[in-house]
């Protein structure tokens, strides 16, 4: 009877594990991360390319391709965040929709920006705007060292894993919380407690405190996506620039620029 009871308890715990894990190790949400996931469910990347990099062929349009979200391409089409909201809700800002020349150009192309009004909520629109601004390449520090770090982060493809503006949330099987952490919030604060920690994460891809921890080391070894060690590939000056950029992201001074 004791054995049966023990097996029943173990089976119950096993069945409840996904729910318990989801509650205890819940994804630390950010608007940009939510917006990125929402863009995927709305089919945005089908036209704007994987990750919003553009280059989808669109014959008959002025550029011949669908515009990208990234690499400052947005500055050619968007003047304000209100323009972004109108693109999402109505397919284009009203000033463009009222322009006969613009309408004629849009009608000449087979792929046209859809209108999501009535499909997405007001909160979802703001998440999409946060993501689009974060991915735009236009949200940059006004301090030279941090700005250089942002350029390096782009060159090293840091955002491919850490998300736009380090929003985090990319699934990472077998990691402690199931996703790649961002550059701010409780996840970051747990992993980076000092400048030495941050420098070591960048140069070695791990820190001693976790690498030698009996539980932390297991997750560090087993996780599918591992933090690269850039110590052999970037100079000390570049490491300092990357640290300045991550600290700028962590401080949150960029947040008003994504709204």
> How long a stretch of residues is the chain?
259
User: For 75-148, where are the E strands, in sequence order?
Assistant: none
Domains of the chain with bracketed CATH:
31-135 (1.10.760), 144-258 (1.10.760.10)
pLDDT per residue rounded down to tens, the chain (259 residues): 677 666 666 666 555 555 555 555 555 677 888 898 899 999 999 999 988 888 899 999 988 999 988 877 788 888 888 999 999 999 999 999 999 999 999 999 999 999 999 999 999 999 999 899 888 888 888 899 999 999 999 999 999 899 888 888 889 999 998 999 999 888 999 999 999 999 999 999 999 999 999 999 999 999 999 999 999 999 999 999 999 999 999 998 777 766 6
Q: What is the pTM of this model?
A: 0.75
Angstrom CA distances, 167 to 38, 53, 128, 192, 232, stand at 14, 18, 13, 16, 26
Q: Which DSSP symbol is given to 228? A: -
Strand partners, 65: 57
């Amino acid at each position: 009877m004791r054995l049966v009871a023990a097996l029943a308890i173990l089976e119950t715990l096993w069945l409840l594990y996904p729910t318990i894990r989801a509650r205890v190790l819940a994804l630390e949400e950010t608007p940009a991360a939510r917006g990125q996931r929402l863009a995927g469910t709305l089919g945005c990347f089908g036209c704007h390319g994987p990750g919003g990099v553009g280059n989808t062929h669109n014959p008959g349009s002025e550029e011949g391709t669908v515009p990208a979200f990234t690499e400052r391409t947005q500055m050619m089409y968007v003047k304000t965040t209100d323009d972004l909201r109108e693109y999402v809700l109505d397919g284009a800002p009203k000033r463009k929709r009222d322009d006969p020349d613009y309408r004629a150009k849009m009608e000449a192309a087979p792929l046209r920006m859809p209108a999501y009004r009535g499909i997405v909520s007001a909160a979802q629109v703001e998440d999409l705007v946060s993501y689009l601004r974060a991915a735009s390449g236009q949200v940059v520090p006004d301090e030279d060292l941090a700005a250089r770090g942002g350029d390096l982060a782009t060159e090293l493809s840091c955002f491919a894993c850490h998300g736009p503006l380090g929003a985090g949330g990319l699934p990472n099987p077998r990691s402690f919380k199931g996703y790649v952490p961002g550059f701010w919030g409780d996840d970051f604060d747990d992993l980076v407690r000092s400048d030495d920690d941050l420098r070591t994460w960048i140069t070695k891809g791990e820190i001693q405190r976790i690498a030698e921890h009996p539980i932390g080391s297991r997750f560090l070894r087993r996780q599918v996506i591992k933090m690269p060690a850039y110590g052999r590939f970037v100079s000390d000056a570049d490491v300092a620039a990357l640290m300045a950029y991550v600290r700028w992201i962590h401080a949150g001074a960029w947040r008003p620029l994504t709204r």
